[in-house]
Amino acid sequence: MLPTTCGTGLDDPRVAATLKTLHTRTRRDGWVFLRALPAILLAKATGRDISKIVEPYLKDAYISVDPSQGKLLYMTARAIDARLIVEFGTSFAISTIYLGAAARANNGRVIGTEMEPAKVRAARANVAAAGLAPFVDIREGDAMRTLATVEGPIDLLLLDGWKDVYLPMIKMLAPRMHVGTVVLADNIFTYKKALRPYVEYMQDRANGFDSVTLPIGFGHGMEYSVRRR
């Protein structure tokens, strides 16, 4: 294993250049929410959950973690020496590249999941451009199916797919975790209503996690949970 000072981390030139390009594309992609604005406003006015309303508008959107969140993913994976990292919701693989850089430095691997075939193709190409293909397996299809066969122990889990799946996903994967497994779940503030049941579940210590909401990412919010038993 190469030491990180040799450029195996986020300072690796291919990783840094690919992330720079993809974050720039994400910023330019911000307008996608304008397409959904009338539907969002109607949902808000009628007190409905906006997560299901925006999903059809986001099929080709980047909607990624921001650089501060990506760094948190990388640093957490490095801090706990994560060997098996699982990601629900890969999109164009921005978060996957942060996690993949940590996996390479840890001698580990990332299993990503994405159900949009065009995004899967682009994500694989982006991971390859970052030089991380040997450390990343992106599974195509519904994550409840593609992750059903993952053998633990899972060291780190990122939840960043559609919001109604966070709770069934954690229930499916929790038996394959160990004490100290970290779960990071994005968009706690973005989809407050849809994710309330998830946050309540994770913050109820009877369910086996210690958990806190971090105000990180521009308006995102992330739930940071550690398996305690």
Ligand X SMILES: C[S@@+](CC[C@H](N)C(=O)[O-])C[C@H]1O[C@@H](n2cnc3c(N)ncnc32)[C@H](O)[C@@H]1O
Point out which residues bind ligand X (CB under 6 A).
63-65, 89-92, 94-95, 113-116, 119, 142-143, 160-162, 165
Give which of 225, 187, 212 is closest to 95, Cα–Cα.
Answer: 187
73 or 177: CB nearest ligand X = 73
Spell 122-161 as b/e; 16+ CB within 10 A means b: bbbebbebbbbeebbebbbeebeebbeebeeebbbbbbbb
Question: Shortest distance, CB of residue 44 to ligand X, whole angstroms?
Answer: 20
89 or 221: CB nearest ligand X = 89
91 or 211: CB nearest ligand X = 91
The tokens for 66 are: 């921001």
Question: Shortest distance, CB of residue 157 to ligand X, whole angstroms?
Answer: 12
Question: Shortest distance, CB of residue 228 to ligand X, whole angstroms?
Answer: 25
150 or 165: CB nearest ligand X = 165
Question: Shortest distance, CB of residue 43 to ligand X, whole angstroms?
Answer: 18
57 or 201: CB nearest ligand X = 57
Q: Is 105 exposed, middle or buried (0-12, 13-18, 19+ CB in 10 A)?
A: buried
Sheet holding 209-214, edge to edge: 136-140, 109-114, 84-88, 154-159, 177-186, 222-227, 209-214
Question: Shortest distance, CB of residue 102 to ligand X, whole angstroms?
Answer: 14
